[in-house]
Each structure stands twice: as C-alpha cells, then as structure tokens.
Chains A and B, each alone.
Chain A
Amino acid sequence: MTSNSFNAAAGIIDEKKYFHLLVEKLRQIVVRPVKLMEVCGTHTMAIGKAGMRGVLPPEVELISGPGCPVCVTADSDIDAFMRLAKDERVILATYGDMVRVPGTEGSLAELKAQGADVRVVYSALEALDFARTEGDKEVVFLGIGFETTAPATAHAIKTAKAENLSNFSIYNLHKTVPEALRVLLEDETTTIDGFILPGHVSVIIGETPYAFIAEEYGIAGAIAGFEPPEIMAAIVKLVKDINAETPVISNLYRKAVRPEGNVVAQNLLREIFTSADADWRGLGVIPGSGLALSKNYEQFDAAQKLGIEKIQVKLHPGCRCGEILKGIIKPRQCPLFAKRCTPENPVGPCMVSSEGTCAAYFLYHGGDGHVG
C-alpha cells in the first residue's frame, strides 16, 4: 500500500486487511466467467504493481482498456507534433510521458538531442512561464490527457488570454472517456461484462456521464480508487451486480468523486473547449470524443497558428497496440512484445507510456509474457 494514501495517512482504514477479505469474498461469490475492463491506464499499473491478477479466481479476467492518453494518440498526431518540435520558432513544452514516443525521425527526446527546444513540464502553468520570459519564441504546450488533465490546460489558456500572451498555444490532443466506452460497447469484436471506471476522470465528470452504460447496454460499471482494496472492492461489486443481473453504475470512490463531479472544472472546460471529433489509436475517429478550442480561444490553437496539417501516416508497422487498447488481444499475443518491443526500445505507444498496457505487462507479468 502506498505510504501517501489518504486512507492510511488519516489512520482510518487497515487496507491490507480489507484487501484480503475482499479477495476471499470474491472467491465465494463468483459463479461464471466474467471479463472486466479496467478503463484507466493508472488502474492497469496499480493492478500490475499489486499483483492482483495473481490472486483473482480463474473466472475473473481483467482486460485493459483505452485509458492511457499516450497510447491512444493517433500516428497522424504524433507525426504532427514532431514537425512542430522541429520548427525553430517553437519551444515545445510537454508532460514527460510523451518524450519517448517514436516518430518517423525519432522521439521528442532524440529531436531534443539534435537541438530542438523540447522541455518537460509538470503543469501547463509552467509552460506559461516560458511564454512570459521568452517572448521571441512560440511556446507550444502539448495538451494531452482525458478530463482529469484538460482543466489544467484550460486554466493555462484562460490565463494566457487574460495576460494577452500572444506567443502561447497548445497542440490539442485532449479526449473524453465516455464516448470511447460507447464505441467499445458497440464493437462486436469485444466482450465486456463490466467496467472498472476511472477514478480521477470521474472526480471531474461525476457519475452521470456513465449512466448510458447500464441503461442502454445493461452493463455494470464501478468508479474505483487506486489503492488495491479500492480496485478489489470494485471487482466484488461488479461481480455481485453481474450475478444479480442488476447492472448499475456504482461510485466506490466517494472520498474523491461527488455524484455531480467538479462543477467548477466542468464550467471551465465548457468555456474554453467545445466538443469535437477525435482520432483514437485502435478506435478510429469517435464523434464528440475530443475537446476543440471554442471560438473565443481558437487563437491558442498551435496547429492553426503555425500551419501544421495532419497527414495520414503509419508509424509503427507490426504494432498491435490498437487491438490491445480494445481488450481484443493481450500484449503477449503481439509478435513484437518483449522481442523487438521492450520498454528500453519501444516500437509502439502501449510500450512507451509508463501506464501503457504493454509496459505494465512487461514490468509486472514478466517480459516472457507467459503470465497474465
């Protein structure tokens, strides 16, 4: 259990005890094979780190979903922001997760070694500092992430406008989760009996945007925290709901997720962004799953400002990341996994990101891919 867990710090919960009690309960109640998808890449990592697959009854299969923002970034977008990084007018500010993603001429880390001005930041507000102090350069922030991360980008854009910063813009890769879940539910090649829903996306959006999963598709969902007993509690709840044939969306992460979500953040997102189509690796273009800059803020769109066009490219031949993101195959079924594609020399985004499914499997289920 992590030492900075709120539960542990507050001295409220003996997490280890509950984890084992919940595992025991799960073994008692499971009556048929169930496939549960953990949507969020951070859950994938937490499940791997805690060795949870090893303690689950054989009937319960966890499959990893499209909830790793780096992994779902389309090749055409990767190619476009690489071209941006090479522009001599540009300082490209990015979260650390993106710097090793391979492009046609290497990763951002490699471009940096060749002289491109690529800077890793912890928050979008840090990128604003570059724009304030280096007025002769265009500071482009790589805006990536789901609803958890988008408010930070929105805050930076709003601040840039208030300060009349004309040398700040974003290359926008933000995406929203519920629409991707609908695509998975509509896809006849996927079988999902229940969703472990992303805790920190839900902090922002609340419970309601997932209602269609139970109401329209009859599939259960449980919003979960990131400590092992929090994830195990979600699994127990899903199996109970599946057994009872009462699919509902449960919130098992109430200490952080209010039913209505974070309304301040939602209002900020609505002010800065507007719903748009977005291109997802593996899932294709999903209507309404992106966040484009709204009319009042479109001057902060780096692609428009710097004339960067998206070109259809195929960057990672042989990589089956797309099928892995839909839960159709496991990493070990990709012929590149742990052979040509490793965390040291990743071929595709699912191996690059620390929370990518392939990276998690390599790290926690053995590079030989025999487990999991």
Chain B
Amino acid sequence: MCLAVPAKIVEIDEATFSASIDVMGNIRKISVMLTPEAKLGSWVLVHAGQAINVVSDEEARASLEIWEELLRDEQQF
C-alpha cells in the first residue's frame, strides 16, 4: 500500500496545487499540495493521488555514491 511511483509533471496549476503526471504514457491528475516546490518537468513520487516528494538527478547520483562506498573493502570503508 505504501508504494509511491515516480512520475514527471507535464502540467501544473500552482494556484490550486493540481498537476497532471505522465505515468508510462497515461496522464493522471494529482495534488501537489504536499510538494510546493514541484514545478513543470519535476519528477515526483506519487502516492494515493498526492505527490509526496520531488526526486532529483543529484540525489539519485548520491545513491550511486553510497553503493560505490558499500562495495569498497572494509579497510577503506
């Protein structure tokens, strides 16, 4: 039940906190009330019709750095 799906905002009305997202070709209406920083083109995590966070390239790259760190030898870790 707690799975949120990443999706790109393709239309946004910041005044009413409503947006449209593209989920694998399907356009869906969502609320962006919980993510006031969301903009047109942002990637958001969507759960139960609400964007719950904005995800970024920068943070995804940080994940990669964590994995690289985990793969290093114990002495270097």
Contact = CB atoms under 8 A, between A and B. Distances in A.
Interface of A: 3-7, 9-10, 12-13, 18, 21-22, 25, 29, 40-42, 67-70, 95, 97, 122-126, 144-146, 148-149, 151-152, 155, 198-201, 203-204, 225-226, 229-230, 233, 236-237, 240, 252-258, 262, 264-265, 268, 353, 355
A288 B34 CA distance: 24
Nearest to A98: B1
Given A146-B2, A152-B48, A252 B66 contact: yes
A253 B66 CA distance: 10
Nearest to B28: A122
9 contacts: A6-B43, A29-B74, A40-B2, A41-B2, A69-B2, A254-B66, A256-B45, A264-B36, A268-B33
B49 A148 contact: no
Given A148-B1, A152-B50, A253-B63, 14 more contacts: A4-B6, A4-B24, A5-B6, A6-B43, A29-B74, A41-B1, A42-B1, A97-B1, A145-B1, A145-B2, A200-B3, A200-B47, A229-B67, A237-B70
Contacts of A226: 3
B49 A265 contact: no
Contacts of A149: 1-2, 47-48
A198 B1 CA distance: 11
Contact of A70 (B1, B31, B66): B1
Interface of B is mostly: mixed
Contacts of A255: 55-56, 59-60, 62-63
B23 interface: yes
- Tell which of A125, A226, A240, A257 has the most Cβ of chain B within 10 Å: A125
A21 to B, nearest CB: 6
B74 A13 contact: no
A240 B70 CA distance: 9
Contacts, number: 148
B30 to A, nearest CB: 8
B52 interface: yes
Contacts of A262: 34-35, 52-53
A251 to B, nearest CB: 9
A170 to B, nearest CB: 13
Contacts of A240: 70, 74, 77
Nearest to B24: A4
Nearest to A125: B49
B53 A25 contact: no
Contacts of B33: 155, 264, 268
B7 to A, nearest CB: 8
Given A198-B2, A226-B3, A124 B63 contact: no
A233 B60 contact: no
A28 to B, nearest CB: 9
Given A145-B2, A233-B66, A256-B45, A7 B31 contact: no
A204 B61 contact: no
Nearest to B47: A148
A271 B60 CA distance: 32
Interface in B17-48: 23-24, 31, 33-36, 43, 45, 47-48
B49 A200 contact: no
- Tell which of B47, B63, B77 has the most Cβ of chain A within 10 Å: B63
A121 B71 CA distance: 43
A353 B1 CA distance: 9
B53 A122 contact: no
B68 to A, nearest CB: 9
A29 to B, nearest CB: 7
A294 B7 CA distance: 33
Contacts of B53: 203, 256-258, 262
A265 B34 contact: yes
A233 B68 CA distance: 10
Contact of A151 (B34, B63, B64, B66): B34
Nearest to B52: A203
